[in-house]
A and B are shown apart, each in its own frame.
Chain A
Amino acid sequence: GESVGLHLPTLSVQEGDNSIINCAYSNSASDYFIWYKQESGKGPQFIIDIRSNMDKRQGQRVTVLLNKTVKHLSLQIAATQPGDSAVYFCAENMRYNTDKLIFGTGTRLQVFP
């Protein structure tokens, strides 16, 4: 299938293990953060979000952690499955423009049996 990117940072994990994908954001004024999953040939798909007044938010099998001190965001995926294989992007939302998303570079997650 098509490839979103050929030279992305890649994380390889075994099926069933936990995955941690990291992201550094740039603007200390950002107050809303989103993780997107992008499969080959598809557009980004919303996974989970977090506001800057929180440092942790949990969803189904996913957890987002926010460290505003060092401007760091992470996505944890529990019991990683083959269907989790994709490119993951973090995006930040600028406080003064609530509709403008700034996307990070992306990390490719590969799940092997």
Chain B
Amino acid sequence: AQSVTQPDIHITVSEGASLELRCNYSYGATPYLFWYVQSPGQGLQLLLKYFSGDTLVQGIKGFEAEFKRSQSSFNLRKPSVHWSDAAEYFCASGGYNKLIFGAGTRLAVHP
């Protein structure tokens, strides 16, 4: 069965530092992959998506993600984190008419 794993439940970084959030998927064929962000008390916002083509995907808010088939990974990166990036981040894999979500990574940003 398709699954998505986010190994890190909580991550804390300093403002201005770089960020990498990990995501691993299990799927036999080429997956459809997504990253969402959720601020407290809000809905989820789509940051970026990968369907095919270039394995480095650019998203909103300065985020990017790289699809690595050999590692079954789709890690999210940002070169310099802002305090407003503190939120929960969800990786998801596309199933037919459904998405399979990871458990989420909560990001805290220290000033």
A-B complex is real: no
Q: Which residues of A does B touch, CB under 8 Å?
A: none
